[in-house]
Amino acid sequence: MTYLITLLSAKQSRRIRVIENILHNKRTVTTLFWGMRYQILPWLGSMRQLERADFDAQLSQLVAAGLANISQNQVLLSSAGYQAQLQFWQHHQRPQFLKFYLLGDIDKMEKRVLLAGQVLSEYSFQNKNYAPLSFDGDELRAVKLWFHQQNKSNLVFQFKQELTTFLSTLGEQQANFLVMQLVGHKVAGWSTEQAAEQLELPVIDATMVRRDLWAGLTGFFVDKTGPMHDLIAPLIQATPLSHSTQITYELFNRGYSIEQICRARHLKLSTIREHLLEVAIFLPRKFPFQTFLSDPVMQQLEQHYQGNVDQWQFNATDKSDGQSFFYFRLFQIMRSYQEYAQ
């Protein structure tokens, strides 16, 4: 059994392709909305290399075992599946740093920190003849630039001290796992499989723990100063918003109307609306729903849409400009977060 069972529900039928798209980081508004409804957004982009055949095979195994049912491309845990889900959490590692998963590119974060650690280790031994970790050129250039910008007199000690401070916040198994990955002078980092065997962890747990630890490191250093922060700061985002959505949101906050943003950015009206929906999904506490959902619009929406948000079907008569659907989706998002806040 894999962590896929933890992304399913016994009460809420979930769209199979939405779950797959979340894991792959396919950021359509539809995927983000339903990912929000399923409360699995922190898993966005967590398994970008997952093949559809493998994903479908995992689902098929759950169905064959009587743990899930599939109907109309949606999956629902059976009562046995719900019990299996509870038992899964009793025997497997829970992610501890989910709230940091969307702060930045965790995969690049890992590569950059490991490479920097290797560079500093070799530097401390005054060794210039070594093969750097085989990461892409962007990461090599980024670490090289970071290294040249740092004060070398105390850099090795400070970097080690910062990493040690973070390790001290972890459990023994987690700390050992992270240390096993480190690369240094005549020290090769362990693979996930090697660390899993040494720590007597199932590989699926080790894979999850590895990602979780780098998310934790990101969150730990995001608001600190020092070499580690300088190293990873370019990879950290202030919000989970895509780059294009962030630009739209900044213009909106400066008082631009949707139409003005369209003209300024040379983008379609539908695209700008999608950007604003993304903002509402990720930053509901900051999003001014009332700017778009006036009292008359709210009254009309409240008359048409009640009960379980998952069951709402858009039925506006005028769909020509997309505005009605924009209001509908905003209303869904607003009601969803009000529901979660209860």
Diameter over CA atoms, the chain: 73
CB 12, CB 310: distance < 8 Å: yes
Query: What would the DSSP string read from start to end of 121-140?
Result: HHHHTT----PPP---HHHH
How far out from the chain centre does Cα 22 lie?
A: 9
Percent of the residues in the chain that have a pLDDT greater than 90, as a whole number: 85
Separation of alpha carbons 174 and 159, rounded Å: 19
> Mean of the pLDDT values across residues 55-64?
96
* Burial class of residue 204 in the structure, from the number of CB atoms within 10 Å of its CB (0-12 exposed, 13-18 middle, 19+ buried): middle
Architecture, CATH, for domain 3-92: Orthogonal Bundle (1.10)
Separation of alpha carbons 48 and 183, rounded Å: 25
**Which residues share a beta bridge with 15?**
74
Residues 6+ apart with CB under 8 A from 30: 18
How many other C-beta atoms lie within 10 A of the C-beta of residue 277? 22
Can you give the pTM of this predicted structure? 0.89
CB 242, CB 27: distance < 8 Å: yes
Report pLDDT for 104.
85
Phi-psi region of 260 (alpha: psi -120 to 50; beta: other; left: phi over 0): alpha
**Domain extents in the chain:** 3-92, 106-235, 270-341
CA angle, 181 as apex, 177 and 184 as ends, to 5°?
135
Among all chains, which residue has been given the structure tokens 């982009």? 45
Report pLDDT for 317.
62
DSSP H helical segments within 150-268, as ranges? 155-167, 172-181, 192-199, 203-221, 227-232, 243-253, 258-265
Percent of the residues in the chain that have a pLDDT greater than 70, as a whole number: 98
How many other C-beta atoms lie within 10 A of the C-beta of residue 299? 11
In one letter, which amino acid is 316? A
Q: At what angle do helices 243-253 and 269-282 cross, to 10 degrees?
A: 90
Q: Model confidence over 98-138: pLDDT tens digits?
A: 989 998 888 899 999 999 999 999 999 999 998 888 777 88
In one letter, which amino acid is 73? N
Q: Model confidence over 137-171: pLDDT tens digits?
A: 889 999 999 999 999 999 999 999 999 999 999 99
